[in-house]
Amino acid sequence: MRAAPTILHLDMDAFYASAEQAAKPSLRGKPVVVGGLGTRGVVATASYEARRFGVHSAMPMAQARRLAPNAAYLVPRFALYRTVSDQVMELLGRLSPLVEPLSLDEAFVDLEAGGVADDSRSARAIGEQLRLVIRAVTGLSGSVGLAGSKMLAKIASEEAKPDGLLLIEPGTERELLAPMSVRILPGVGPATGDHLRRAGMTVVHDLVEAGEAELVRLLGRSHGAALHRMALGHDDRPVVAERDAKSVSVEDTFDVDLHDRVRVRTEVERLAGRCVGRLRGAGRSGRTVVLKVRRYDFSTLTRSETLRGPTDDPVVVREAAARLLEAVDTTGGVRLLGVGVTGLADFTQEDLFAQAADAREAEDARQAADARKAAEAERSGDDGPDAEEPPAGDQAGAPAPDGPGTGSVEPETRRWSAGHDVRHEVHGYGWVQGSGVGRVTVRFEEPGSAPGRVRTFRTDDPRLRPADPLPLVREPPDYSSWPASLPKSLSGAGVADEAESSP
């Protein structure tokens, strides 16, 4: 534990939903829900206006629609979120070489390592400056927690939400934690929380009173001892600049259960290709291929195969996933499929070229066998088992291969997803408000503009095309000298004065 609150935790407020409200002026101040829009989709983020109706992340989208039927429901736009996240992380990198990202919208920063803070006053001033600069650069708000440990800094940012700052002075940790729910502590999920509740422990003070021996008896030596230390406010974990990913995976949930075995295999191969794309994008390779199958009755099966060495070859991963699928009973239907790669490395072993060649030969043999079956079916007058099979991505609930209305998709097959960016030759830039029965409704507005007008077009209108997201702030102030000095457009009454009024 540090003697000064020089560990900072930043958490952007309702990140995805706030970004959508900033990009779409007509949605500001209104309930917005971002996530999968299918019947089996889940909420990724809900704006604070939507949370008042009880909507929260990880909630089934169908339940969210019942609670907030008049909210705006949008699909995620990760290209925009990653751009904004890069801007935020670049700002954090100016504060310290030790920045530990936890997700697109959350990170720890060691202010002491960056030499920008060494006591409570300087830490608070930097925290307030950071909030101001983030808002000026991205148009969004973030909450900041400052403490002498990572655990307490994260708790502080959560307590400061939304758009606030909370500094926990060293020495006050136990007093602050005592009345809080045990669920506030890392590692205490629903199951552990319920176990502690049955033992009469609901707040952190109860854990301190119970003592380490009792917690070890209830939870085991490792978990019990660690929980007792955290209840006392002790956490000596350092801020780690590089967090090594342990796996890369992708998965899809389908609105309608997949029953056709050929279709299931097609989806697994498609997911394997997406997984390898992410793997290569991260410059990694992996040794173990993992297949995840959730069946119609919600039972989830996981199968894995370890290769001779790390690979990033799509054929190798695809064939391994297909072999794993052969060992899974999909009778009754499949609602979710996932493919992942673990055992990551920064290289690919040379001997895997032979393995890839073997896999390609097996793939060629399979395709030849399929061709023979198709020829035999044609001679017998049968259309064959795959004649009516739609292309990958057309299944309800499955994403289109290249997203809605990309240039490689013919106009009549375009899929316009709610919230996606478009540009019309006459009316300019806008976003999809909804689509169906051959029509797409677009609201024409841009970040920073007044709420725009709504117009409806045919889904195959050649004048309407997909567009890239616009920046949330067109001309952000110059912050190249920050944190040595604050841009004049942000200084005003002074950071120190504002810091004194923070919670």
Residue set of the binding site for Mg(2+): 11, 105
Nearest-angstrom CA–CA distance, 373 and 345:
40
| Tokens standing for residue 116 | 């920008």
Three-state SS at 252: strand
81-117 burial by CB neighbour count: b if 16+ within 10 A, else e? bebbbebbeebbebbbebbbbeebbbbbbbbbbbebb
For 184, which DSSP code?
G
The owner of tokens 């795959």 is: 386
Annotated binding-site residue numbers: 11, 105
- Cis amide bond preceding 162, omega within 30: yes
Whether 175 sits among the annotated catalytic residues: the reply is: no
CA–CA distance, 429 with 451 (Å, rounded to integer):
13
Sequence-ordered alpha helix ranges (H) in 178-260: 190-198, 204-210, 212-219, 221-231
Pick the catalytic residue: 20, 106, 112, 445? 106
Q: How far apart are CA 365 and CA 383, in angstroms?
A: 22
CA distance 139 to 70: 25
Which structure tokens are listed for 283? 């410059």
Nearest CA-CA partner of 144 in 132, 129, 156: 156
Query: What amino acid positions are annotated as catalytic residues?
Result: 106
